[in-house]
Structure formats: structure tokens, C-alpha cells
């Protein structure tokens, strides 16, 4: 706003200068310049400046209508997904910085009774969109429901989990409400945009700064959405931390139903077949035994399997292991995999590139085993063992097995 006002003042100054230029051309240089040309230039300067100025007034007024931090409270089979509680935890931090409230948007059929569980984890208000058309997730009715909530209640920030549902829902909703979306965020904070002052550019305050990996995880990008609302982001599961439960908390429930008229965009669900997956969700594991390229082969992961079995833990891996086809992507830790926070994290044969450590550095205890004493993994490890993992891991497994017995 300040920069546009300065532009306006500069334009008026230019208009005044044109009169002096006209006099100079006519009186000193004796050039015949039509007064109409000078007047035309003055009008162009003035109209252009006024257009920018009034557009800025409208924009600022538009942005000020949007208040509050909203999260999409994902539920499946009428059970709140863990990502919803994680988003509430981060939303509380953002709302505190902005001096506003946290609202959870709960969409489904027969879900009103779930509202209090969201209050327990930090929601000040829960907007419930309850309709039979929302019994199972389908893109069109859910996108209509969330976009209608945004248009009606005007949140400043809207957070969605980067799950299979969230990655389908978020982009469609952002397009419908004409705002930007930063996908797959690993960090969110309130700050200034641009991050550092730039000459002749106004620095905007209290902006949502959304950080995410880019270019295959080789760099980190911080993105802002300063001129549109809401500021939308999808957030990776396991990145944010839910707060300690607030026992006895009750939700301020607001029921809202925009109405649903099935059309050719509504997919008809004929049947739902739930598959049984043997793979454990590593983001929920308390103990992770993670292997990297240094393990050497898919067969050699048997050493890690044995250690994990003794500890009651789960095996995970680095991106290099997935790229080599030794383990499935569901087990990958890192920027392009999953973010984890186990009580104990074993990093075995993992060098410790930033793309990996970004996904596990907040583990309570990190134990690294690597033959290279200068490996970056030791910079984040609480305990480190330098040596051959083929000798160390079996010895460690045997010692733990004896101690546990």
C-alpha cells in the first residue's frame, strides 16, 4: 500500500514537471509542441497512477475480510485421521502469531459427534458439513463442500493434509476459490515477504511462509501468497506435531450445508474393496531401523530385519535404497519420502544427506553406524559408531537379544 501511494505521488509530480518541460520547449528552445500532447501525457500519468492506487485500496480491503486459520479435518470411515491433529497443532502456533482462532472443517456423513475430539487437540471452532452425499470421499462433493466453506467463512489460511485425499482435494479447491496452493510443505511460519527488504518494493508482514522441497529434493523453496486469500498449503503427514490433549475441551460447532445436487461430475461408487497391506506405516513407528546404500544389497537388509525384530521396531530406508529397488517407497524416509519422529532412529549405512536428515532429524534419539567417520549423519546423531555394519549390527542384535531375555 505504501509503495503504491509513493508511485501515485511520483506520478503527480511528473504531471507537474510536464508543465515546466512544455514551457522550456516553447520559450527556450522555440519548439512548437502542441499543448494537447502535454495534456495527453498528463492524463496518462494521472489515470495510470489512480488506477493502481484504487486497485490497491480494493485489494487491501479484500484481504482484510479474511480471518482465522482453518484446517481440513480429514476423516475416513468416521474416524479422524492423525494428520488432522497434526495440522491443528501447527494451526495453533500460526493463530497465536496472528492473534486469531483455529477452525477445523469436518466434512462427511454422520460426523458431528467427532467435533469434540478436534477441540481436544486445539480447534476453537468446528464447522461441520454433514450430508449423505459425503459418506465416502468423492472429489466433486467434497471440493464443493470445502470451497463453499471458504467462500462463506473467508479464512486467512487454509491447511490440508498431503495425503491421497488431500492431494486430490487441495488443488481443486484452490482453483475454485482463485488462490494459490503450495503443495507438500515441510515447514510453515508467519513472517515477512520478501524475506529481506528489497529496494522499491514494500515488505509485507504477517504472511504465511510455506517451505517445501523442490527439484527432486535437491533444494528448499520458501513460497508466499501475498496477494490472494486464503493462503493454502498441503502439509506432509508426520511433519507437524499435535499438541498435548486438552481434557474436557468442547467444540464450538457450526453446522453448514451448501446443498448438493448430483450431476455428471459426481462419481458413483459401486463398491469399496479394502486391501490388506503388510507394510507398516513408518510415520507411526516408535523404533525405526533405517538402512542406506551402505547396507550393500537387498539381501543384506536381513541384518536390519533381525535388529528390528529384537527391538520391536520397523525397518525403513533412504531414497538410494528405493532407487536401487531394494525396498518399496512406503518405507522411504526423507524429503521425497516420509517425515518420521520415532523415539529411537537407527541410521545404518546412511551418509546423512540433507534430503534424508530433513525427514528424521527430530527423532528423540538417533544412533548412526557408518564406516566413514566424516559422514554428515554423525552431525545429527546422538550416538555414533564408526565401523563395518556387517560386523557391528549382528553383534548389537546378539547383545540386545541377550539383555532382553
pLDDT at 190 over 70: yes
- DSSP string over 140-168: HHHHHHHHHHHHHH--SEEEEE-SHHHHH
Q: Is 263 a domain residue? A: no
Last residue of a domain, one of 64, 83, 117: 64
Range with top average pLDDT, 140-144, 200-204, 212-216, 335-339: 140-144
Residue 262 lies in a domain: no
User: What integer is the mean pLDDT of 8-17?
Assistant: 58
- In terms of domains, do 238 and 342 share one? no
Kindly state the helix (H) or strand (E) to which residue 222 belongs, with its residue range.
Answer: strand 219-223
Domain stops at, among 64, 85, 109: 64
For residue 22, is pLDDT > 70?
A: no
pLDDT at 38 over 60: no
Question: Residue 397 falls within a domain, yes or no?
Answer: yes
Closest CA to 152 of 259, 277, 7, 52: 259
Residue recorded with cell 534419539 = 365
Domain match, 302 and 179 both:
no
Is there a single domain that holds both residue 56 and residue 76? no
At residue 219, the pLDDT reads 72
**pLDDT tens digits, 230-280:** 999 999 888 888 899 988 888 899 999 988 887 767 888 888 877 666 667
pLDDT at residue 317, rounded to an integer: 94
Q: What is the pLDDT of residue 226?
A: 87
Of the listed ranges 139-153, 168-182, 223-237, 270-284, the least confidently predicted one is 270-284
Query: What's the number of CA atoms in the CB half-sphere (13 Å) around residue 200?
Result: 2
pTM of the model: 0.71
Assess whether 209 and 194 both reside in one domain: yes
**Are 21 and 118 in a shared domain?**
no
| Domain at 306, CATH number | 3.40.50.1220
In this prediction, residue 9 carries a pLDDT of 57
pLDDT at 155: 95
266 domain-assigned: no
Name the domain boundary from 37, 64, 91. Answer: 64
Assess whether 44 and 6 both reside in one domain: yes
Q: Distance between CA atoms of 147 and 132, rounded to whole angstroms?
A: 18
Percent of the chain having pLDDT more than 90? 55
- pLDDT exceeds cutoff 80 at 67: yes
Mean pLDDT of 167-173: 94
80 or 260: whose pLDDT is higher? 80
| CATH code of the domain covering residue 236 | 3.40.50.620
Whether 245 and 287 share a structural domain: no
Classify residue 130: in a domain, yes or no.
Answer: yes
User: Is it the case that residue 403 has pLDDT exceeding 80?
Assistant: yes
CA distance 384 to 188: 31
Which residue, chain included where needed, has cell 520415532?
A: 342
Pair (137, 163) in one structural domain: yes
81-90, 159-168, 206-215: lowest mean pLDDT where?
Answer: 206-215
Statement to judge: residues 218 and 131 lie in one domain: yes
* Boundaries of domain holding 39: 2-64
Q: Residues 351, 294: contact at Cβ < 8 Å? A: yes
- Inside any domain, residue 80: yes
Q: Which residue has the higher pLDDT, 193 or 118?
A: 118
2 confidence band (pLDDT: 50, 70, 90): very low
- What is the structure's pLDDT at 4? 47
Task: Classify residue 277: in a domain, yes or no.
Answer: no
Short-list 369, 132, 155, CA closest to 254: 155
Regarding whether 243 and 206 lie in a shared domain, the answer is yes
Grid look-up 492431494 returns 167
For the segment 85-103, the average pLDDT, to the nearest whole number, is 94
At residue 367, does pLDDT exceed 80? yes
Of the ranges 255-264, 334-343, 359-368, 396-405, the best mean pLDDT one: 359-368
Per-residue pLDDT of 265-318, as tens digits, reads 788 888 887 766 666 788 888 999 999 999 999 999 999 999 999 999 999 999
DSSP strand pairing (102-108 vs 231-235): unpaired
Residues 114 and 45 in one domain: no
Q: Is 290 exposed, middle or buried (0-12, 13-18, 19+ CB in 10 A)?
A: buried
pLDDT tens per residue, range 323-344: 999 999 989 998 888 888 899 9
Q: Does residue 382 fall inside a structural domain?
A: yes
Quick one: pLDDT at residue 40? 57
Query: Residue 70 has what pLDDT?
Result: 97
pLDDT of residue 99 exceeding 50, the answer is yes
Residue 25: pLDDT band (50, 70, 90) is low
- Amino acid 16: pLDDT: 57
Domain shared by 353 and 248, yes or no: no
Number of domains in the chain: 3
| Least confident window among 65-69, 82-86, 249-253, 263-267 | 263-267
364 is written with which cell numbers? 528423540
Amino acid at each position: 500500500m505504501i509503495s503504491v501511494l509513493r508511485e501515485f505521488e511520483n506520478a503527480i509530480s511528473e504531471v507537474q514537471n510536464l508543465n515546466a518541460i512544455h514551457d522550456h520547449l516553447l520559450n527556450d528552445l522555440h519548439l512548437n509542441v502542441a499543448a494537447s500532447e502535454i495534456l495527453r501525457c498528463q492524463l496518462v500519468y494521472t489515470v495510470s497512477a489512480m488506477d493502481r492506487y484504487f486497485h490497491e485500496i480494493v485489494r487491501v480491503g479484500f484481504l482484510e475480510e479474511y480471518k482465522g486459520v482453518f484446517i481440513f479435518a480429514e476423516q475416513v470411515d468416521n474416524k479422524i485421521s492423525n494428520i488432522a491433529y497434526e495440522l491443528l497443532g501447527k494451526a495453533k502456533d500460526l493463530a497465536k502469531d496472528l492473534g486469531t482462532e483455529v477452525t477445523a472443517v469436518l466434512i462427511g456423513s454422520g460426523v458431528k459427534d467427532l467435533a469434540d475430539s478436534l477441540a481436544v487437540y486445539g480447534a476453537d471452532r468446528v464447522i461441520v458439513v454433514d450430508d449423505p452425499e459425503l459418506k465416502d470421499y468423492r472429489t466433486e462433493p467434497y471440493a464443493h463442500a470445502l470451497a463453499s466453506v471458504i467462500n462463506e467463512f473467508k479464512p486467512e489460511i487454509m491447511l490440508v493434509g498431503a495425503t491421497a485425499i488431500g492431494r486430490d482435494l487441495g488443488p481443486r479447491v484452490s482453483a475454485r476459490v482463485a488462490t494459490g496452493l503450495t503443495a507438500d510443505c515441510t515447514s510453515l511460519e508467519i513472517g515477512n515477504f520478501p524475506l529481506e527488504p528489497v529496494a522499491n518494493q514494500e515488505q509485507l508482514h504477517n504472511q504465511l511462509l510455506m517451505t517445501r522441497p523442490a527439484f527432486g529434493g535437491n533444494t528448499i523453496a520458501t513460497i508466499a501468497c501475498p496477494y490472494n486469500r486464503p493462503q493454502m498449503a498441503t502439509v506432509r503427514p508426520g511433519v507437524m506435531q499435535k499438541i498435548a490433549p486438552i481434557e474436557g475441551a468442547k467444540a464450538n460447532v457450526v453446522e453448514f450445508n451448501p446443498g448438493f445436487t448430483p450431476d455428471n461430475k459426481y462419481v458413483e461408487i459401486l463398491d469399496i474393496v479394502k486391501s490388506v497391506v503388510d507394510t507398516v506405516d513408518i510415520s507411526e513407528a516408535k523404533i525405526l531401523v533405517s538402512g542406506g546404500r551402505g547396507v550393500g544389497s537387498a539381501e543384506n537388509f536381513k541384518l536390519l530385519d533381525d535388529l528390528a525384530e529384537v527391538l520391536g521396531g520397523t525397518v525403513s530406508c533412504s531414497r538410494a535404497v528405493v532407487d536401487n529397488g531394494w525396498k518399496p517407497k512406503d518405507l522411504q524416509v526423507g524429503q521425497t519420502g516420509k517425515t518420521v519422529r520415532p523415539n529411537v532412529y537407527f541410521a545404518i549405512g546412511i551418509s546423512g544427506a540433507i534430503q534424508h536428515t530433513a525427514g528424521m532429524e527430530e527423532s528423540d534419539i538417533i544412533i548412526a553406524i557408518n564406516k566413514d567417520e566424516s559422514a554428515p549423519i554423525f552431525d545429527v546423531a546422538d550416538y555414533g559408531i564408526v565401523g563395518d555394519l556387517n560386523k557391528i549390527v549382528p553383534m548389537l542384535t546378539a547383545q540386545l537379544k541377550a539383555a532382553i531375555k
